[in-house]
Amino acid sequence: MQLPEHGANPSHVYDRLGVTPPARITDFSENCNPAGPPRAVLELWPELISRLNAYPDPSGEPFLSKVADYHGVAPSSVIAGNGAAELLSLIAERYRGKRALVVHPTFSEYEATLRAKGVEVVRLIASEEEGFKLPVEAILEALPSADVLYLCTPNNPTGIMPERVDLAAILKKAGEAGCEVVLDEAFVDFIDESKSFIPELRDFPHVLIVRSMTKMYAIPGIRLGYAVAHPVVIAEMKAQAPHWNVNGMAAAIGAVCLEQEAYRNAAIRHAREEREKMTAFLKQHGCTVTDSETNFLAFKPEDAGKLYKDMLARGIVLRHSENFHGMDGRWLRIGMKSVVEMEELRAELADWFEQEAVNGKE
């Protein structure tokens, strides 16, 4: 039975497996901020009801201008989208009938959107033995034969942020080779905005950067994201986008979210603290853990398939890696949740590891 392609929607996992879900489920397969939406969004919500009978701004205002101010770029360098998923589809249209390099393991939507547009996809696999570090030399060698390179920075599912010097070398070589680069920075918010390549886009006009509002601000239900690139590229994307592709409520909420600096800083601290505790715990129990810098991590237990299914029976949904090439089901991913939920997860995992150790001695 094929498992769902993405995290979240835990009921789909139980349905696919034909298993009755427990009364209480905690979903560690998705990576949204456990704090929930910012208070300012909740306070704005009643006012938004009155806007339901008004058409939204066709450019995604006031969100689009807020994004431009936040990153110090011109509004003409920004496009708002109905989630990063829509933007990835628009970007893939640029490469219809062309050739794309995708470095795995990574987010499955890159290949899904590219193949839907008739793009030839060439896979490069980051080595598990080398800790899933970016295969820089293989990428540099492959760039001249490609029209676009997709990179996830930080990577999903490993959480690893490539070295800036390596990224710069790749972007420079790509420009020389006439190869565009798509950087997916959906989770860079949980590290530090200084890790973003947006400030350097003026030196790399062949680079497109995709950002998501879903994860940091815990607003997956309204679907909101944006891309930043050269104005010519953005104009071409806007020409392909549906009219009114960002609803008015999402645009208003997104604008408010970008003002929440204290909220972001608290989320960064929480993700780091919980990730460090979980990493230490998993290593104590013999697991290999990725060097994640963001709000999730991947780990390799002795039997990932058994652990995954046994945790489902306990009402704990982890993210499988069946569709992450290079991990191929041997790894699992954990999104950082509240302090209490993380403590409960460690308790359940500790019990499971203990039982497995006892069973192994019998």
What gap in Å lies between CA 319 and CA 332, rounded to an integer? 6
Chain length of the chain:
362
Residues sharing a CB contact under 8 Å with residue 81, sequence separation 6 or more, in sequence order: 87, 90, 224, 225, 226, 227, 241, 245, 246
Q: Classify the C-alpha dihedral 215-218-222-225 as positive or negative.
A: negative
Q: Which of 26, 32, 13, 30 is nearest to 345 (CA)?
A: 26
- State the number of CA atoms in the 13 A half-sphere of 78 facing the CB: 23
- Contact between 244 and 80 (Cβ < 8 Å): no
Q: Which of 333, 276, 290 is nearest to 161 (CA)?
A: 290
Judged on CB neighbours under 10 Å (0-12, 13-18, 19+), 24 is: exposed
For residue 4, what are its two tokens? 């769902």
Domains of the chain: 10-30+262-361 (3.90.1150.10), 39-259 (3.40.640.10)
Instruction: Give the model's pLDDT for residue 78.
Output: 99
pLDDT digits (tens, 9 = 90+) for 70-110: 999 999 999 999 999 999 999 999 999 999 999 999 999 99
Using 70 as the pLDDT threshold, list the residues of the chain that sit under it: 1-8, 361-362
What gap in Å lies between CA 154 and CA 161, rounded to an integer? 4
The angle formed by the CA atoms of residues 53, 59 and 62, to the nearest 5 degrees, is 75
pLDDT digits (tens, 9 = 90+) for 65-79: 999 999 999 999 999
β-pairing, 296-300 with 78-81? unpaired
What gap in Å lies between CA 229 and CA 232, rounded to an integer? 8
Beta-bridge partners for 123? 102
What gap in Å lies between CA 308 and CA 320, rounded to an integer? 7
